[in-house]
Every structure is written in structure tokens, then in C-alpha cells.
């Protein structure tokens, strides 16, 4: 018998519809790996903010990057903590009762303290991993980052050990008293499709395999 993972902390324990929660690292990794953007909540002297930014995973950390002058990155290094969220919306769920309508989704919340990737070699490896996430194999084809570009860039990471996943799938859950109400019920899916690659007007190269495969791969 497999024992379900427990919440890593009190603030990650899902209380509302707790049966939809998961604390398994595999579930978390799948949601992070499917994302290109995350939202980071933080607070500074000007108030509370929630900013979208590119993200990627290496082992048990989520990574972000930005300019050295980024207000958010400076605050994340100076602050005591942050909350990162990722959400994938899969479908609208239509029920017989207005208040039983819901959505199918996959979401994750990550708490913790960001740390700077200070080692130059690790910084380069992290940025190359981002490029590999965007288009596997492209790193060897493009001009690599210059010393000046790397010097102007900050890479941060946050551990994934204090996190929670919440996800829903399937059709509506109608109340027994509503079953006689005649109305269409079911799911309105969102298909996370990919379009065919579009060459730039100044492009001079043949379509590479990773770009040709883009539209045939699942998002």
C-alpha cells in the first residue's frame, strides 16, 4: 500500500476541497515542466505585487532570471520569502446547478526563499537549460551569451520542497435534487495546441527539427 505524501508545512496544507490536493514531487514536477510562465507574489515598500515571469526546473529547484536592475529580483533576494504559482486551465465544467459549475485545472503553489545562482558555471548551465526547455538542441546553434550579457543577468532559484499541488479532472458533480433538471452538462475543454512554426522575414536557414516538430508535440 502506497502512503500519500504529507503537506510539507502548515501553509501548504490544502484545506478547501482537500481531496484535490497532492504533495507528491512527481505531480509538482509535471506541472512545473509543462509551464513556461509562473507568477511570483512579493511585497515591497510600494505594496503587494504579483508578476509573471519565465520559469524552468532543474532537479528540485525552480529557476527564474532577469536584469540585475529588476525590482522584483532585488526584493526576492532581500525579502524573507515568496510565493510562486503556476496554473494550467484544462476545461470549463458545466453542471445542472449554477453554483456547481467549476473548472478542470492543474495548479501548484511554491513557498520559500529565492537564492542567487552566484557561481558563473552554474549560471551559464541554468541559462542553457532554459534554452533547452524552449527549443531542445538550439543552444548549440545560436550565439552564446557574452560575458557582458551574463554579467548583466541575475539567475535565481527556489527549492521545490515546500509546495502543494491542486488539480481537478472529470465532469460535473451534480446534487441529487438537481438530476431531474433538463439542461446540457459536460466539459468545454481548452486544447493547448501548438501552431506551425513561422519563419522570420529575414530568416536564411532551413527549418530545424525542433521547430518542425513544434506543432506536432503536445503542450
Q: Has residue 103 been placed in a domain? A: yes
- Gap between the Cα atoms of 110 and 163, Å rounded: 4
Count of the separate structural domains present in the chain: 1
Q: Has residue 53 been placed in a domain? A: yes
Q: Has residue 215 been placed in a domain? A: no
Q: Has residue 170 been placed in a domain? A: yes
| Residue 1: half-sphere exposure toward Cβ, Cα within 13 Å | 1
Q: Has residue 184 been placed in a domain? A: yes
CA-closest candidate to residue 219, choices 93, 92, 31: 31
Please check whether residue 180 is in contact with residue 97, taking contact to mean a CB–CB distance below 8 angstroms: no
pTM check: above 0.85: yes
Q: Has residue 71 been placed in a domain? A: yes
Query: Which domain does 32 fall in, by range?
Result: 10-192
Q: Has residue 100 been placed in a domain? A: yes
Q: Has residue 213 been placed in a domain? A: no
pLDDT (tens digit, 0 to 9) for every residue of the chain, 219 residues total?
555 788 888 888 888 888 888 889 999 999 999 999 999 999 888 889 999 999 999 999 999 999 999 999 999 999 778 999 999 999 999 999 999 999 999 999 999 999 999 999 999 999 999 999 999 999 999 999 999 999 999 999 999 999 999 999 999 999 999 999 999 999 999 987 889 999 999 999 999 999 998 888 766
What is the CA angle 180-182-185, rounded to 5? 105
Q: Which residue stretches of 66-179 are H helix?
A: 71-78, 120-134, 147-151
The CATH number of residue 103's host domain is: 2.30.110.10
Amino acid at each position: 500500500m502506497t502512503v500519500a505524501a504529507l503537506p510539507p508545512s502548515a501553509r501548504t496544507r490544502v484545506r478547501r476541497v482537500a481531496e484535490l490536493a497532492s504533495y507528491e514531487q512527481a505531480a509538482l514536477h509535471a506541472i512545473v515542466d509543462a509551464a513556461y510562465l509562473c507568477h511570483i507574489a512579493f511585497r515591497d515598500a510600494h505594496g503587494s505585487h504579483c508578476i509573471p515571469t519565465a520559469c524552468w526546473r532543474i532537479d528540485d529547484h525552480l529557476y527564474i532570471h532577469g536584469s540585475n536592475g529588476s525590482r522584483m529580483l532585488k526584493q526576492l533576494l532581500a525579502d524573507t520569502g515568496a510565493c510562486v504559482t503556476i496554473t494550467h486551465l484544462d476545461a470549463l465544467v458545466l453542471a445542472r446547478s449554477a453554483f456547481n459549475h467549476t473548472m478542470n485545472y492543474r495548479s501548484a503553489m511554491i513557498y520559500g526563499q529565492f537564492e542567487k545562482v552566484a557561481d558563473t558555471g552554474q549560471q551559464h548551465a541554468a541559462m542553457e537549460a532554459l534554452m533547452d526547455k524552449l527549443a531542445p538542441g538550439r543552444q548549440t546553434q545560436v550565439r552564446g551569451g557574452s560575458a557582458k550579457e551574463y554579467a548583466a543577468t541575475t539567475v535565481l532559484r527556489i527549492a521545490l520542497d515546500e509546495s502543494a499541488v491542486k488539480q481537478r479532472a472529470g465532469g460535473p458533480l451534480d446534487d441529487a435534487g438537481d438530476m431531474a433538471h433538463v439542461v446540457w452538462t459536460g466539459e468545454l475543454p481548452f486544447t493547448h495546441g501548438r501552431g506551425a512554426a513561422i519563419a522570420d522575414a529575414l530568416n536564411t536557414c532551413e527549418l530545424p527539427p525542433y521547430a518542425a516538430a513544434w506543432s506536432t508535440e503536445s503542450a
